[in-house]
Amino acid sequence: MSRKKARRFGKKKANRQRIAKERIAILLAHAETQALAGDLELADRYAFLARKIGMRYQSKMPRGFNIKFCKKCMSYLVPSRNSRIRMTGGRLTRQCLKCGSYYRIPLGGK
């Protein structure tokens, strides 16, 4: 046995969060595959499941998640298909065509 500091719950929780992160990554990969294959409904379903896991384990979504998915209706956004992306003054404006919400993504660092 190692003599590492073992807090009572810390280790277990971290382990669970790691597993949750892995599962989220897998689900998001599935979502992407399905979306690119044209099955947006299935993609949405995977995205929904991924977020559910994230909420349950209070795990942060991986980077890039907010760009690919609509925060409001959780649909996987495929440019020109169900989302519109425009460049406006150093910012990327993205609109989800499903629920109509806009998101602005600043470009070029903070």
Binding site for Zn ion (CB under 5 A): 70, 72-73, 96, 98-99
Tell me the chain's radius of gyration from C-alpha atoms. 17
- Shorter beta-carbon distance to Zn ion: residue 30 or 98: 98
> Which residue's structure tokens are 């795990």?
59
User: Minimal distance in Å, beta carbon 2 to Zn ion?
Assistant: 47
Please say whether the beta carbons of 60 and 17 come within 8 A. Answer: no
Q: Count CB-CB contacts under 10 A for residue 49.
A: 17
User: Minimal distance in Å, beta carbon 28 to Zn ion?
Assistant: 16
Distance CA 106, CA 88 (A): 10
Distance CA 58, CA 54 (A): 6
Q: Which amino acid is at 10?
A: G
User: Minimal distance in Å, beta carbon 101 to Zn ion?
Assistant: 5
User: Minimal distance in Å, beta carbon 106 to Zn ion?
Assistant: 20
- Shorter beta-carbon distance to Zn ion: residue 14 or 99: 99
- Shorter beta-carbon distance to Zn ion: residue 61 or 96: 96
- Shorter beta-carbon distance to Zn ion: residue 23 or 98: 98
